[in-house]
Structure 1
Amino acid sequence: MATVESPLLSIGAFARRTRLSPKALRLYDRLGLLAPDHVDEATGYRWYRDDQVERARLVALLRRLDMPLERIGRVLELQGERAAREVADYWAAVEARTARQRSLAAHLRDRLSGRRPRMYDINIREVGEQTVLTERRHLLADDLPMWISAALGRLEAAAAACGDTAGPAFVLYHAEVSEESDGPAEACVPVADRAAAEKYAAAHSREVSLRHEPAHRLAYTRLTKAQVVHPQITSAFDAVERWTSDEGLTVTGPCREVYFADWCAAGPEDEVCDVAFPVK
């Protein structure tokens, strides 16, 4: 039995079926997202098949997520779970960006209104002595996140050859890191086997250093992943530093960020980092 083909829809009829404007349909055609089935050579009229309606509606829904057209193209090329995973990855990035922007907006409100930074829950804990592998770098604030991730990754890989890590990784700030000031910052990973770490550092002295961190007390506040963003993270440092002064404590070393959670697996509202000062 012969297959009966559905009649073609004019661009106007197709626009009404899909709730997309003719202008949008022309744009999606130009970008390769939704080409008409047929274009009349004489008139330039575009004609679409009925079975293209679902694809067009999918494009419209993805645009309602503010998904860039280039990424919509990637979704359309995928099927089933792979397409769903692409949408999930996109939305996770949107939520992470929104959480960062929410934190930044709060920081800017406090800064512009002259109010003190919002309250932080500040505590003190004891930290035992540690042997740490380190990398030190002069860099500006924009370069800091990528360097921290890469440096801690290298140091944790090195620690695997030295009896594994012996505590959370941390980053010291020996001087201000901002848009104008380049630190330096120092990435640190505690190691379990000091003798093995000494051998490793001696063999890789151009890449890493080894030093001893004495036991100390830390005044700290705990931050979510969304809060670990410059410049709003500076309000947490300011709050801890002000608290130590109010409590009559003395800062005894460089401020630091202590990363106690899996950064990649954490969501925007998960606690991942302590902003801290060593005190006595």
Structure 2
Amino acid sequence: MVPVSKDLLPIGRFARLCRLSVKQLRHYDDLGLLAPAWTDPASGYRYYRPAQARDALMIGLLRAMDVPLPVVARVLSGDERAELKAARDRIEADVARRQRGLRLLDRVLAEGLPEHEVSLVREPARRVFTAREPATPATIPDATGACVARLLPRMSPESLLIGLFPLDMEEEFDVRVTVEAADGDDLLPGGAFASAVHVGPYEEIPLTVHGVLAWFGDHGHTPAGPVREVYLSDPATTPPERLETRVQIRVEDSQ
């Protein structure tokens, strides 16, 4: 039995020291994240050593930044730098996604939902090389960039670069980018497509995708994925507001 002494703080005092609630400390104990130094076997009352405050403060700080509890546990186990860097990268990606969302909202607030001229076109089948990268909705730009980088050795100034994105966004999916080549090892199917040209930054392409999908609703057609983005401009030499991208969605019920 460990006697209560000045070296042990009752849970209430320790909670105030660490800016946590008693309920939180009990929860972290139950999870095995921060066990008390001693628990009174008769009353079940928890006591902590002052030296445990550093770990408790770290837990509170990381949780306030929405760092998941499993990551917090690994930080406390000693792999601090790698885990904190990974948590930082996730937060940065989330901030970037939210900033893109804010810019889209600002445009909608200023201009309303944009109107797009949608036409029905027939596309031939194409021989292509394909790069694919796992992604989430927040990491689409990075995944697309990684695909393009892998295709650079196969590209020429005349190359047709096409991004392929799922029609129904799930938590995880594959982003694909293709480049047309006579000796390509993949076949990109042809068919009838609803098509519209997006002018502006890539991050605003979802507005045009929604415009094309609205066309499907207006005309009673059924869309079939993936969504195609045909990149018509060179982002290295074209200002973002002047980038042109053809958005195409296959018409499933068209002959």
Instruction: Report the TM-score when normalising by structure 2.
Output: 0.55
Q: Secondary structure at the match of 1:67?
A: coil
Name the counterpart of 2:119: none
Q: CA deviation at 1:66?
A: 2.5
Q: CA deviation at 1:93?
A: 2.8
Contact conserved, 1:75 with 1:87, CA < 8 A, in 2? no
Question: Where do 1:112-261 residues align within 5 Å?
Answer: 115-117=112-114, 133-134=128-129, 153=147, 164-167=154-157, 170-171=161-162, 178-179=167-168, 187-190=177-180, 198=183, 201=184, 204=185, 208-209=186-187, 221-225=199-203, 227=204, 230=206, 232-234=207-209, 256-258=229-231
Contact conserved, 2:198 with 2:208, CA < 8 A, in 1? no
Whole-angstrom distance in 2 between the partners of 1:255 and 1:86: 31
Q: CA deviation at 1:26?
A: 0.7
Whole-angstrom distance in 2 between the partners of 1:8 and 1:171: 65
Whole-angstrom distance in 1 between the partners of 2:87 and 2:25: 22
AA aligned to 2:209 is: T
2:98 is the counterpart of 1:98:
yes
Q: CA deviation at 1:223?
A: 1.8
Whole-angstrom distance in 2 between the partners of 1:7 and 1:50: 7
Q: CA deviation at 1:133?
A: 1.8
Name the counterpart of 2:26: 26
Q: How high is the sequence identity, in percent, across the aligned residues? A: 25
AA aligned to 1:170 is: L
Q: Structure 1 169/65 Cα, relative in aligned 2: closer, same or farther at 3 Å?
A: farther
RMSD over equivalenced CA pairs, Å = 5.0
Whole-angstrom distance in 2 between the partners of 1:133 and 1:165: 11
Q: Secondary structure at the match of 1:72?
A: helix
Contact conserved, 2:235 with 2:243, CA < 8 A, in 1? no
Q: Structure 1 26/186 Cα, relative in aligned 2: closer, same or farther at 3 Å?
A: closer
Contact conserved, 1:75 with 1:86, CA < 8 A, in 2? no
AA aligned to 1:209 is: L
AA aligned to 2:128 is: L
Contact conserved, 1:14 with 1:48, CA < 8 A, in 2? yes
Whole-angstrom distance in 1 between the partners of 2:155 and 2:46: 64
Q: CA deviation at 1:77?
A: 2.9
Q: CA deviation at 1:85?
A: 1.1
Whole-angstrom distance in 1 between the partners of 2:37 and 2:52: 9
Whole-angstrom distance in 1 between the partners of 2:56 and 2:234: 46
Q: CA deviation at 1:43?
A: 0.9
- Uncovered stretches (5+) of structure 2, i.e. residues with no partner: 116-125, 131-135, 170-174, 190-195, 214-226, 248-255
Q: CA deviation at 1:81?
A: 2.9
Name the counterpart of 2:60: 60
Name the counterpart of 2:9: 9
Q: CA deviation at 1:256?
A: 3.0
2:254 is the counterpart of 1:276:
no
Aligned residues: 197
Q: Structure 1 95/41 Cα, relative in aligned 2: closer, same or farther at 3 Å?
A: same
Contact conserved, 2:154 with 2:179, CA < 8 A, in 1? no
Q: Secondary structure at the match of 2:229?
A: strand
**Deviations for 1:178-199, whole angstroms, at most 9, x for unmatched residues?**
459xxxx9943155xxxxx53x
Whole-angstrom distance in 2 between the partners of 1:89 and 1:172: 25
Contact conserved, 1:6 with 1:50, CA < 8 A, in 2? no
Q: Secondary structure at the match of 2:74?
A: helix
Q: Structure 1 87/10 Cα, relative in aligned 2: closer, same or farther at 3 Å?
A: same
Q: Secondary structure at the match of 2:20?
A: coil
